[in-house]
Amino acid sequence: MKTKKSIWSYLLEVYCSELVFGLELEVVKQIEDRLIRDFLDVLILVELAKGRPLGGRDIITLVSNKFGTLVSAGTVYSVLYSMEREGEIASGSEEKRRVYLLTDKGKETIKTITSARHEIKTLVTKLFGA
């Protein structure tokens, strides 16, 4: 014999499943945001390799549009200055703003990352246990 669920048990079940789903989404978003911040230098190199100089605001807009993630100006400029000190990018001026261009060292870094793409995918797969 099939028993009927009360409306309250049904609502509780729906609420709990939405709560779990909401928590899953929140955790996924946190991981996504973390990966974007951790690989922001790689993203910057890849975008600069397209040949267009970028400023800090361009990068903030790019990340927001491409991934739906907001990164602070402090985070972006910290990464840019670090990359400039490492010699991967160089800064210049364009229309009264500071923009960044890829250097030869930055191009070599992109080649290295591209050639190691398979190893990087394998590492990520191992990391998430898939």
pLDDT, one tens digit per residue, over 1-28 is: 555 556 656 566 665 666 556 667 777 7
20 and 1 inside one domain: yes
pLDDT, one tens digit per residue, over 87-117 is: 999 999 988 899 999 999 999 999 998 888 8
51 and 108 inside one domain: yes
59 and 110 inside one domain: yes
**Is there a contact between 97 and 80 (Cβ–Cβ < 8 Å)?**
no
68 and 28 inside one domain: no
Residue 34: per-residue pLDDT? 86
Q: How many domains does the chain have?
A: 2
75 and 46 inside one domain: yes
75 and 117 inside one domain: yes
* Sole residue written with tokens 């975008």: 47
In order, the DSSP letters of 74-127 are: HHHHHHHHHHHHHTSEEEEEETTEEEEEE-HHHHHHHHHHHHTHHHHHHHHHHH
Angstrom distance (rounded) from CA 114 to CA 46: 10
21 and 45 inside one domain: no
54 and 24 inside one domain: no
28 and 1 inside one domain: yes
21 and 8 inside one domain: yes
Angstrom distance (rounded) from CA 53 to CA 58: 9
Tell me how far the alpha carbon of residue 38 is from its chain's centroid. Answer: 7
51 and 79 inside one domain: yes
pLDDT, one tens digit per residue, over 36-66 is: 898 899 999 999 999 999 999 999 999 999 9
70 and 121 inside one domain: yes
For 26, the domain range is 1-38
Query: At 68, which CATH number?
Result: 1.10.10.10
